[in-house]
Structure 1
């Protein structure tokens, strides 16, 4: 299965009128992608409660919305994001707790409506995740998360991410086309096209294929990680300034890239191999994200859903002067 990355849709939540807009936008996305009336209604209900919770507890924040492609029916992901202090998770999870202007069903009931629900909250704010799939499709959720945003909400994004999943094996790509806007996106998409044809190929040859496809474009920074579940090993190959880390509950390892520009000039693209990575997190990010973050500064975050982790990192470490992508994959023995 190949998942071609898309931008995160950000809905600003600053007043009560935007709750209705969030509900309609989420429900429309669900209806456009195969959700029946009942399942689209679940999406609308959860969007309403998440957006209302942001307004009630933080005064303002965002609802992040994206489609989740799968082999079966697509899913819908909604993430409420705020930067407020004093979030009372226990109170919000109680049934009957009203967030103002809603049915007062509480986030506990929202958790039952969602197929995946997760929360991380501390003094910096809260991130609440809900993923919903049509109830007729019982496939397991895939343990990855991404937060991708273009500079100034440009419809074109110079960052591109891609996931290829074959059984329990995963190959993950992040490309950052030089600059931003349409030309940068064109360069990154050219690289993605070559990657998607052979995502589990020999790393050096795969990078050469991407290089040839990106010649004549702006070029860009490229990194891909190939996880082989049967061997619990990971091969990482990078050229340019895509950041990457392997993270366990008690340690973190940075993954090394070579200098150069794919589609321009680079001297080598030697893969680096890492053993015993089952149960680790793979985090890859473009240079729109600061590199000085440390998950140890967020007690418990390493155990949260990858989508929550990606969103927290974007919220707190986005530079704000370039496109930004954060891709987080839980390296597990099975994804199906």
Structure 2
């Protein structure tokens, strides 16, 4: 298996009025069309976008629908995530048609599960996150268990953070970059890092960091973290420069991954990698400093077992500082044993 995804803009449509449902549907169908969905598959995307947006209004009155293109094992797909801070719900019960907490027909989530290939969700007293991934029905594709949520500072049109993931045989590589500051100059630094990663994404994290340093030279630079997991030895190798937060999470707890000071693309003295054996079955989470650091998955019982895209969306919803660009990338490292 080989797959590479360089994270692009996450489109977030605020859902606070019935007119926003149509806006979310049109944007989702445009993205689906742009990545090659045919008429029937685009219709499925439109239905899911409508149901998820309508459910936000019914159950929480306001929230947002996040839409982005994704990569599967075999092609492109689209991801839609409904995020709210409403009263939550019993998501197991709500998957069955006819079950409703608001007196409606209760067909929304049932319709979503019939149209999307991958559906997962998490709900508690802080709100709900419902994720749906769709790919063309005529092409069999396996879901890749990664997920990212991103928000640009102050609603700016570009984000100074970037991320990418690569699947190459038994290896999985994740990269997050935070361009210094925010705005266009930070965005240019992040784009340079992503281009460097795309050109050379199969190497050791130390050699990858050297490649990214060269790629970011001439920009204002930034913080970068690169992690490579090999499914055979189940070992994670990590290198970080700057203030990208990184940790391995499991049901037993979490372990932070250390980075070194510096600015990739500017003040750079070389990276050092650290190895973490027996990382298989754990969840790797990387995030920029736009996210608060004082959070714990243990405060969200069951969240660590959900899809990484759901985990990333919950963390961004609850811990975005609101003072900088913010990015959360979550990657499942093999199967639990």
Once the two structures are superposed, the pairs formed by residues 153-302 of structure 1 within 5 Å of their partners are: 153-302=155-304
Following superposition, the deviation at residue 195 of structure 1 comes to: 2.5
The CA RMSD measured in Å over matched residues stands at: 2.0
Following superposition, the deviation at residue 58 of structure 1 comes to: 0.4
Partner in structure 2 of residue 75 of structure 1? 77
Partner in structure 2 of residue 51 of structure 1? 53
Cα distance, 1:181–1:333 mapped onto 2, change above 3 Å: same
Among candidates 305, 308, 318, match of residue 306 of structure 1: 308
Partner in structure 1 of residue 95 of structure 2? 93
**CA distance in structure 2 between the partners assigned to 1:304 and 1:203 by the alignment:** 27
Partner in structure 2 of residue 23 of structure 1? 25
Moved more, 23-32 or 117-126: 23-32
Q: Given that residues 87 and 127 in structure 2 are in contact (C-alpha distance below 8 angstroms), is that contact kept between their aligned partners in structure 1?
A: yes
Gaps of 5+ in 2: none
TM (norm. structure 1) is: 0.94
**CA distance in structure 2 between the partners assigned to 1:272 and 1:174 by the alignment:** 17
Secondary structure of 2:219's match? coil
Cα distance, 1:193–1:142 mapped onto 2, change above 3 Å: same
Following superposition, the deviation at residue 193 of structure 1 comes to: 2.3
Cα distance, 1:183–1:300 mapped onto 2, change above 3 Å: same
Q: Given that residues 173 and 222 in structure 1 are in contact (C-alpha distance below 8 angstroms), is that contact kept between their aligned partners in structure 2?
A: yes
Gaps of 5+ in 1: none
TM (norm. structure 2) is: 0.93
**CA distance in structure 1 between the partners assigned to 2:29 and 2:130 by the alignment:** 18
**CA distance in structure 1 between the partners assigned to 2:177 and 2:258 by the alignment:** 15
Q: Given that residues 236 and 272 in structure 1 are in contact (C-alpha distance below 8 angstroms), is that contact kept between their aligned partners in structure 2?
A: yes
Q: Given that residues 28 and 67 in structure 2 are in contact (C-alpha distance below 8 angstroms), is that contact kept between their aligned partners in structure 1?
A: yes
Secondary structure of 1:269's match? coil
Partner in structure 2 of residue 127 of structure 1? 129
**CA distance in structure 2 between the partners assigned to 1:132 and 1:102 by the alignment:** 26
Following superposition, the deviation at residue 168 of structure 1 comes to: 2.7
Q: Given that residues 52 and 100 in structure 1 are in contact (C-alpha distance below 8 angstroms), is that contact kept between their aligned partners in structure 2?
A: no
Following superposition, the deviation at residue 43 of structure 1 comes to: 1.0
Q: Given that residues 159 and 175 in structure 1 are in contact (C-alpha distance below 8 angstroms), is that contact kept between their aligned partners in structure 2?
A: yes
Secondary structure of 1:230's match? coil
Partner in structure 2 of residue 146 of structure 1? 148
- The alignment status of 1:64 with 2:66, answered yes or no, reads yes
**CA distance in structure 1 between the partners assigned to 2:134 and 2:50 by the alignment:** 14
Cα distance, 1:269–1:174 mapped onto 2, change above 3 Å: same
**CA distance in structure 2 between the partners assigned to 1:42 and 1:99 by the alignment:** 25
Q: Given that residues 210 and 270 in structure 2 are in contact (C-alpha distance below 8 angstroms), is that contact kept between their aligned partners in structure 1?
A: no
Following superposition, the deviation at residue 16 of structure 1 comes to: 1.1
**CA distance in structure 2 between the partners assigned to 1:47 and 1:202 by the alignment:** 39
Following superposition, the deviation at residue 333 of structure 1 comes to: 5.6
